[in-house]
């Protein structure tokens, strides 16, 4: 496919590392740079949220190595992944670090890039579509809508040690943007909801859970901020899940049923 393009894509040089975002799950959301990387890489270190159908684009003979990196699931430690990249690059391999979503949006890509610099390993970064935008879009939620909000805040639901981020000023966050999009928040979602309401958000504010965003397994569940605990119990909502808080969630009532889909017709409201 890439050979027929009216422009040239970069050559993957031996001994280099490419940090590439594979998008949120739907293979159709892969960038051309990602496809180009898959077709040239000798060794692919891929995360748990990378859709396996994407890996079928890898060139024949490429080594596919699972690196994990999914909250609460067994995986390599970050230091082990970094050391593995460096070691393979020093062996002269074209090393593709394939990450779900975007490498620099809650993806530890910055940490890996800094480690590569310290090790004097040349690298490139290719962004990917992040789940915090694509998931809501597939669920009929525009994260910005002119008559509703002019800002959106993206947050992680846990700190480096697995707890709710200690640096968060929940009162400031509650006032900062009309729409909040949480990644990796399910482990502490009850506490997060309580903190938001204490910070000033209303308990009847619309909330949407989007599980397995953009994939054929995508499910969407609408509730209110004050009913989050009940919704999780009723629907057995588990990670990976994007959580959207704000009035734009209500737009899904009209948009979601009218979005033309293929595999995503199994969504629920």
Check which CATH number belongs to the domain holding 252 and give it: 3.30.950.10
Q: Is residue 4 part of a domain?
A: no
Report the domain count for the chain. 2
In this prediction, residue 26 carries a pLDDT of 95
Structural domain boundaries, residue 97: 17-126
Q: How far is CA 85 from CA 12, 96, 106, 107, in A?
A: 15, 8, 19, 16
Which CATH number belongs to the domain containing residue 50 in this structure? 3.40.1010.10
Q: Look at residue 266 in the predicted model and tell me its pLDDT.
A: 47
Give the separation between CA 120 and CA 79, rounded to whole angstroms: 16
The DSSP line for 94-144 is -EEEEESB-TTSSSSHHHHHHHHHHTT--EEEE----HHHHHHHHTT--S-
**pLDDT at residue 244 in the model:** 98
Domain assignment present for residue 76? The answer is: yes
H or E, element range at 36? helix 32-40
Q: What pLDDT shows up at residue 241? A: 97
User: Can you give the pTM of this predicted structure?
Assistant: 0.91
Q: Could you tell me if residue 9 is inside a domain?
A: no
What pLDDT score was predicted for residue 74? Answer: 60
For 4, the 3-state DSSP assignment is: helix
Q: What is the mean pLDDT of each run of 10 residues along the chain (269 residues)?
A: 84 98 96 98 96 95 88 74 97 98 96 98 98 97 96 92 86 96 96 96 98 94 96 94 98 89 51
Residues annotated as catalytic are 47, 69, 184
Token pair in block for residue 162: 């697995």
Q: What's the pLDDT score for residue 71?
A: 54
DSSP letters for 164-216: SPTT--HHHHHHH-SEEEEES-GGGHHHHHHHHHHTT--TT-EEEEEESTTST
Yes or no: say if 40 and 11 are a contact pair by the CB < 8 Å rule. Answer: yes
Same domain, 143 and 68: no
Name the nearest CA neighbour of 251 among 179, 154, 191: 179
Among 91, 126, 161, the domain-final residue is 126
Residues in the chain: 269
Question: Which pLDDT value is given to residue 262?
Answer: 61
């Amino acid at each position: 496919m890439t050979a027929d393009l009216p422009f040239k894509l970069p050559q993957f040089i031996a001994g280099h590392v490419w940090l590439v975002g594979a998008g949120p799950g739907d293979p159709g959301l892969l960038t051309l740079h990602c496809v180009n990387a898959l077709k040239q890489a000798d060794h692919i270190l891929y995360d748990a949220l990378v859709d396996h159908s994407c890996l079928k684009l890898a060139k024949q003979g490429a080594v596919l190595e699972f690196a994990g990196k999914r909250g609460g699931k067994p995986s390599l430690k970050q230091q082990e992944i970094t050391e593995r990249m460096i070691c393979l690059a020093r062996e002269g391999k074209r090393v593709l670090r394939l990450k779900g979503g975007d490498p620099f949006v809650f993806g530890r890509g910055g940490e890996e890039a800094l480690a590569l610099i310290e090790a004097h390993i040349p690298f490139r970064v290719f962004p990917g579509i992040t789940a915090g935008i694509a998931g809501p879009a597939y669920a009929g939620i525009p994260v910005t809508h002119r008559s509703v909000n002019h800002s959106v805040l993206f947050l992680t639901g846990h700190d480096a040690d697995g707890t709710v981020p200690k640096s968060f000023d929940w009162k400031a966050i509650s006032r900062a943007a009309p729409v909040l999009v949480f990644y990796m928040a399910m482990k502490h979602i009850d506490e997060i909801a309580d903190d938001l309401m204490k910070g000033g958000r209303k308990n009847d504010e619309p909330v949407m859970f989007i599980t397995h965003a953009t994939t054929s397994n995508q499910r969407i569940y609408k509730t209110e901020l004050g009913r989050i605990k009940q919704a999780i119990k009723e629907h057995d909502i588990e990670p990976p899940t994007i959580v959207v808080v704000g009035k734009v969630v209500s737009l899904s009532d009209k948009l979601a049923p009218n979005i033309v889909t293929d595999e995503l017709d199994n969504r629920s409201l």
